[in-house]
Amino acid sequence: MTQDKISAAVEQQINMLDPFLLTQKPLLNSLAEHLVATFHQGGRLFLVGSGPFGAIAGIIGQSFLHRQTLERPALPAISLTNDAGLATFLASDEQGSQLFSRQLRALATNQDTILVLAGTNLSQADREALNTAKQLGCRTILIASEQAEIAGSLPNTSLALPSDSLPRLLESTLFIGNLLCTLAEGELFGT
């Protein structure tokens, strides 16, 4: 029984990485190039994620701030998922869906890129973040399941992952975030 679960999980992850992500090389390179351009023009990367994707957004943001593979200066990446105080204030006023959009209105400019991480469903807070980012003139990127309903919240660029398994989506999203960081820091700082 355990062996079957292990084999199934490994097979699902392999299928996500190969061939799917290998076919997405041009898009992944384009996203990394866009992040490099964002940083060169003085822009920042804001990461948004609801539920467990908030933790993934935090990890990816920390990788941009600290490093992936080489010593280098911090890159301006801010995870908007870590403000528990604001979340509590907004929830008490029944405005929880504004968690990310309020922060974007206060911090973001049209030089910035907003990366939204989601699973099979975009939360209302994710949708409002995408809409606010577009109003501000930010570039928007969404990484989510191909089954996620994104009508009305169309990002500039979307990477639709072919899975509805939450564990596989979380693992793949973290992998993609780490890969984007590695590609960007390689372009900016060599290697």
pLDDT digits (tens, 9 = 90+) for 31-75: 999 999 999 999 999 999 988 999 999 999 999 999 877 889 999
Kindly report the three-state secondary structure assignment for every residue of 28-45: HHHHHHHHHHHHHCCCCE
The more confidently predicted of residues 3 and 170 is: 170
pTM, to two decimals: 0.90
Tokens of 24: 């997405």
Share of the chain above pLDDT 70, in %: 90
Could you state, in order of their start, the residue ranges of all structural domains in the chain? 2-189
Confidence category of residue 95, pLDDT binned at 50, 70, 90:
very low
- For residue 17, count other CB atoms closer than 10 A to its CB: 15
pLDDT digits (tens, 9 = 90+) for 141-170: 999 999 998 877 789 999 999 989 999 999
CATH class entry, domain 2-189: alpha beta
Q: What whole-number distance in Å separates Cα of residue 117 and Cα of residue 38?
A: 19
Q: Is the pLDDT of residue 96 over 70?
A: no
**What burial class does residue 77 get, using C-beta atoms within 10 Å of its C-beta: 0-12 exposed, 13-18 middle, 19+ buried?**
buried
pLDDT digits (tens, 9 = 90+) for 14-26: 887 788 888 999 9
The mean of the pLDDT values for the chain is 88
